[in-house]
Chain A
Amino acid sequence: MTTQQHNVDTIVRGVLVDVLGLSPARADALDGDSGLFGTLPELDSMAVANLLTELEDRLGIIIEDDELDGEMLESFGSLTRFLEAKVSG
């Protein structure tokens, strides 16, 4: 993992704890294949909005609405890959 990948990974886990109320242990246990939208009951459409906005704040990025699709939020791995690409510009 590069430093940047590590930072994105840490920030995403922190946001899942703060926004969804996951325990830190549960957030730490997530791996690339862990399902998010459709798997985590905490992640409803309202929570998705809050999750994305908080990620924007902490990573200093803007996520356009047309970039949002089910695939991006499908798993922990797909979300972090999308965000790493955004952070790299």
Chain B
Amino acid sequence: MSNTYSWRGGDELYLRHGVKYPVQIILIEPLFEEANRCRRLLASVMRGLAANGIGSALPNLPGTGESLANIHDVLFSDWHEALSAFSEMVNPVVIASLRGGALLDDGLAANGYWRFAPETGARIVRDLKRTQLGGSDDDPQLYAGHPISDDFLNVLQMIPPIPPAPLRTVRLESDAGEADAKIAGSPLWRRAEPGDDPELAAALVADLTDWVTQCAAR
């Protein structure tokens, strides 16, 4: 089910599953192209959570996905502001983020926080700039098809990792980074063609369901 939420800059779409359940969480998607590659994974996770009696809401960030805003005019602080407005509406027990979405979960009120394969701003910017290698020089401001402003990238690059509390971090087994749990699966956010990984989705649903249940009891 698609709806819209309002923030100072306008209206944006969001996806919602299991709105009837008392426990609700917010999912923050990966940034830019990675979001497209993880869309099926996120949809599977939302369905799985609903089957466990947990409602979830996935907002479109201004300037991405179906948004009518031009990403070139969007500031990183706009994303924080949009998510604050969305969070007040949903009143989530947990904020669950994927990849670069973890750069946006601090400052949002919740009983707990959950991050899957969190990534730093510096590395995301590096990845975006790398997509230009070997590509055309026609438009140097086009990163993987997104006309992102220098201001946005400069802020994103400098974002310090702020761990909210209580936080649970989950990573793939192939990832050398620190985590509370490691699960098997493939990095769908790096796939040239959007893929699916039902086993990964099931493992994420199981881990998230446990964490949400713990946080709901706080």
Give chain A's interface residues, CB within 8 Å of chain B.
14, 17-21, 37, 42, 44-54, 57-58, 60, 65, 68
Do residues B174 and A45 form an inter-chain contact, with CB atoms below 8 A?
no
> How many residues does chain B have at the interface if contact means C-beta atoms less than 8 Å apart?
22
Known interface pairs A53-B123, A60-B176. Does A18 touch B190 (Cβ–Cβ under 8 Å)? Answer: yes
Give chain B's interface residues, CB within 8 Å of chain A.
33, 123, 126-127, 130-135, 144, 174-177, 186-187, 190-193, 195
Known interface pairs A49-B127, A58-B176. Does A44 touch B192 (Cβ–Cβ under 8 Å)? Answer: yes
Known interface pairs A53-B123, A57-B175, A60-B176. Does A68 touch B133 (Cβ–Cβ under 8 Å)? Answer: yes
The residue in A19, A57, A60 that gathers the most chain B C-beta atoms within 10 A of its C-beta is A57
Q: Write the chain A residue with the least CB distance to B126.
A: A53
CA of A17 to CA of B129, assembled, Å: 23
Q: Write the chain B residue with the least CB distance to A68.
A: B133
User: What is the minimal beta-carbon distance from B134 to any residue of chain A, in angstroms?
Assistant: 4
CA of A57 to CA of B171, assembled, Å: 12
Q: Which of B33, B127, B135, B176 contacts A45 (CB 8 A)?
A: B135
Known interface pairs A14-B174, A53-B127, A68-B133. Does A46 touch B144 (Cβ–Cβ under 8 Å)? Answer: yes
**Can you offer 6 A-B residue contacts whose CB atoms are under 8 A?**
A17-B186, A44-B192, A45-B133, A46-B135, A46-B144, A49-B133
User: What is the minimal beta-carbon distance from B148 to any residue of chain A, in angstroms?
Assistant: 15
CA of A65 to CA of B191, assembled, Å: 21
CA of A8 to CA of B25, assembled, Å: 40
Do residues A58 and B174 form an inter-chain contact, with CB atoms below 8 A?
yes
Do residues A20 and B133 form an inter-chain contact, with CB atoms below 8 A?
no
Do residues A53 and B190 form an inter-chain contact, with CB atoms below 8 A?
yes
Do residues A21 and B195 form an inter-chain contact, with CB atoms below 8 A?
yes
Do residues B190 and A54 form an inter-chain contact, with CB atoms below 8 A?
yes
Q: Which of B134, B175, B195 contacts A48 (CB 8 A)?
A: B134
Q: Which residues from chain A contact B126 at a C-beta distance below 8 Å?
A: 53
Do residues B186 and A18 form an inter-chain contact, with CB atoms below 8 A?
yes
Q: Which of A17, A18, A48 contacts B133 (CB 8 A)?
A: A48
Q: Which residues from chain B contact A60 at a C-beta distance below 8 Å?
A: 176
